[in-house]
């Protein structure tokens, strides 16, 4: 395996960064919530925070983890979206926000997951928890274990709904970690962007579900998130928005009113989209400036490309020192299909890893045959 270092100075743009005093003043005006956290989705780099690790109740935002475990159950083969899930008396009897599931009735897993994402249905949460883990208490154990795996150091779940129960808590930074993991599941966006929809029950009833996250309709680029409210937690919101190549995650906890939580998240998004940008250092599907040697092939070398973009999240106008480490074998053997995994690229920012991606063969490498050898010899006569 050979290592090549490609130095790339991320060029400064015409816009100069704001002065520290002005930037600080602007940031202080963004939110009056107890806790807030704003970060880049791709890299996890923080753009703004206040009391981000303070342990606080987060109400229904804990359903981000409930949804994450549901999607991961599908990924592992433990669950399918089309599976019919029978609703227990316990699930059907949940209070708070619900979709009024009928005890003993069966619903498709996909539909239950949608109601959790759209209208924060407590009954659907418990139904999914019982199906995946056997009971809500065992599911909560999975929630806490997964939180630790994600690095959520200030999180403890007591149930899968976020309804008041002690002890349970999280923090703005941990909620962002959980939402970031959830957003890696593309099907989630099929649910999170639903604004208004009729939910059909097997017994012929219909319940209209409405998205609790108003920003998906009233903020450009917002396509997902989770609200939360209890008297103890106050008004909470974790949301994501994408414009151009930049996707952001914003979390606020403990707003005084519903309007203030939405306004705070809008302020955070506006601030980051104006002051920051994502600069592509390695572009997906575009051949890099290095060729890979081929042994036993019709051609002596092939082009290599990244499987996804590698970008740096930074302030507009900021000069950033970026280097890319390319890890490739000395050669590959033919035949090799286009798209085959051949190596890895690692992006560093000021010497610290900022991202990595797989390197793929950008073209096929066909095997050199006896007929090719004969034609090559004949051509030299």
How far is Cα 82 from Cα 165, in angstroms, rounded to an integer?
A: 32
Per-residue CA distances from 312 to 11, 59, 332 (Å): 12, 33, 31
How far is Cα 210 from Cα 195, in angstroms, rounded to an integer?
A: 6
Q: Which helix (H) or strand (E) holds 177?
A: helix 172-182
Residues 6+ apart with CB under 8 A from 136: 90, 126, 129, 130, 159, 160
Note whether 173 and 52 are within 8 A (CB): yes
Active site residue 63: yes
How far is Cα 253 from Cα 376, in angstroms, rounded to an integer?
A: 71
Active site residue 303: no
How far is Cα 125 from Cα 107, in angstroms, rounded to an integer?
A: 13
Note whether 161 and 126 are within 8 A (CB): yes
Active site residue 120: yes
Question: Shortest CA distance to 170 belongs to which of 106, 84, 253?
Answer: 253
Q: Which of these is catalytic: 70, 97, 120, 124? A: 120
Q: Which of these is catalytic: 63, 142, 266, 315? A: 63
Residue 185 DSSP class: -
Q: Which of these is catalytic: 34, 35, 60, 97? A: 60
Name the burial class of residue 203, with classes exposed (0-12), middle (13-18) and buried (19+) by CB atoms within 10 angstroms of its CB: exposed
Residue 56 DSSP class: B
Note whether 105 and 203 are within 8 A (CB): yes
**Which two tokens mark 37?**
């956290």
Supply the residues annotated as catalytic.
60, 63, 120
């Amino acid at each position: 395996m050979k290592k090549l270092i490609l130095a790339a100075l991320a060029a400064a743009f015409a816009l100069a960064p704001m002065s520290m005093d002005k930037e600080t003043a602007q940031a202080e005006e963004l939110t009056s919530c107890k806790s807030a956290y704003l970060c880049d989705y791709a890299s996890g780099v923080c753009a703004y925070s206040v009391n981000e690790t303070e342990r606080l109740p987060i109400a229904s935002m804990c359903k981000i983890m409930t949804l994450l475990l549901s999607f991961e159950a599908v990924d592992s083969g433990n669950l399918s979206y089309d599976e019919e899930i029978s609703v227990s008396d316990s699930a059907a009897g949940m209070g708070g926000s619900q979709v009024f599931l009928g005890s003993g009735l069966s619903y498709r897993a996909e539909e239950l997951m949608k109601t959790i994402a759209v209208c924060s249905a407590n009954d659907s949460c418990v139904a999914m928890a019982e199906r995946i883990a056997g009971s809500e208490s065992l599911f909560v154990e999975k929630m806490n274990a997964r939180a630790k795996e994600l690095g959520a150091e200030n999180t403890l779940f007591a149930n899968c709904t976020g309804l008041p129960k002690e002890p349970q808590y999280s923090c703005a930074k941990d909620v962002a970690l959980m939402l970031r993991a959830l957003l890696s599941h593309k099907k989630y966006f099929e649910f999170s962007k639903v604004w208004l929809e009729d939910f059909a029950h097997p017994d012929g009833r219909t319940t209209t579900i409405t998205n609790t996250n108003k920003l998906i309709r009233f903020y450009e680029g917002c396509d997902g998130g989770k609200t939360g409210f209890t008297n103890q937690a106050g008004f909470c919101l974790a949301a994501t928005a994408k414009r151009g190549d930049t996707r952001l995650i914003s979390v606020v906890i403990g707003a005084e009113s519903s309007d203030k939580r939405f306004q705070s998240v809008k302020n955070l998004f506006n601030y980051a989209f104006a002051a920051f940008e994502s600069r592509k250092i390695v572009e997906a599907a575009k051949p890099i400036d290095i060729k890979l040697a081929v042994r036993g092939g019709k051609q002596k070398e092939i082009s290599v490309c990244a499987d996804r973009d590698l970008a740096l999240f930074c302030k507009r106008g900021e000069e950033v020192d970026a280097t890319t480490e390319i890890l490739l074998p000395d050669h590959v053997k033919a035949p090799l299909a286009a798209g085959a995994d051949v190596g890895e690229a690692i992006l560093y920012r000021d010497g610290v890893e900022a991202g990595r991606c797989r390197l793929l063969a950008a073209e096929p490498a066909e095997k050199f045959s006896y007929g090719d050898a004969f034609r090559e010899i004949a051509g030299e006569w």
